[in-house]
A and B are shown apart, each in its own frame.
Chain A
């Protein structure tokens, strides 16, 4: 029951929010005290241009962990309508230029996976534990498998 309802909710969220990964888990402390490790964020991606203050999730080329930081600078070009974005974690002293790819000084709208619009505390710890201690993941899957096999009907 839990697994099927979780799957329905996940797919439903993907449709509603228009984003490929509608939920992310906060992995670092760079947005404390607002977001702690283990919180989950609900994302939404609309075509509205990114503005300062929004909390966005983006991927740096060559890294697979998405970064959740706040936008602190926006420059929107008149002719093309393209935006150049600079981000910074609330808890960091410096902006994210150091994190961007070599030679990249700004993010663009296409790098942004989504904006954080809502959040739930603590729920993401299950994902963190399973990623950092994969043995727990195996034990869990093993136990579930056992339950399926041994159930009477």
Chain B
């Protein structure tokens, strides 16, 4: 009962349990944070809007993305993964979500920004439904912690519309 083996085993189990508990508490401390993020997205230009050879619509946009996500960072935050997705519906699909741009924010200092960018990923429809299409642009963020539970949320900005014709 008092051999080295038993003592080492008991110590190791205890240490691992405490470590797991500390990770859990670190993760729970994230709940104390009340974030107040803000964002705005402006479509600066529709670069082109075409129908691809196999029938799907594709559009290229230039966006101005401004956001202040500093309040999302806690001491347990490793990075913030953010992305902008276009959301719209079509006769065939109840929901389409297409990610247009994403970025990793490694620290609080970089979380307040304003950038001009064209869409990083292609905005291609399943079909040719995009003419005059109304859509939302949603800024999503995923908080990736140093340890523990990951959080995600978003801001939905509506009222955007694609042109009536290809150009």
Contacts and interface: CB of A to CB of B under 8 A. Distances in A.
B99 A72 contact: yes
A90 B126 contact: no
Given A33-B104, A151-B5, A77 B147 contact: no
Contacts of A88: 121
Interface in B97-124: 97-99, 102, 104, 106, 121
Interface residues of B, number: 39
A51 B145 CA distance: 21
Interface residues of A, number: 33
Interface in A1-43: 1-2, 5, 33-35
Given A78-B94, A151-B5, A119 B145 contact: yes
Contact of A118 (B94, B99, B150): B150
B148 A119 contact: yes
Given A53-B140, A90-B81, A75 B150 contact: no
Contacts, number: 93
Contacts of A2: 9, 12-13, 16
B142 interface: yes
Most buried by B among A73, A78, A90: A73
Interface of B: 3, 5, 9-10, 12-13, 16, 23, 27, 78-79, 81, 83, 85, 91-99, 102, 104, 106, 121, 126, 140, 142, 144-150, 152, 154
A33 B106 contact: yes
A5 B13 contact: yes
Most buried by A among B79, B144, B146: B144
B3 A53 contact: no
Interface string A101-143: 0000000000000001111110000000000000000000000
B147 A120 contact: yes
Given A34-B78, A74-B96, A78-B94, A119 B147 contact: yes
A52 B97 contact: yes
Nearest to A122: B147
B94 A77 contact: yes
A52 B83 contact: yes
Given A53-B83, A121-B147, A76 B93 contact: yes
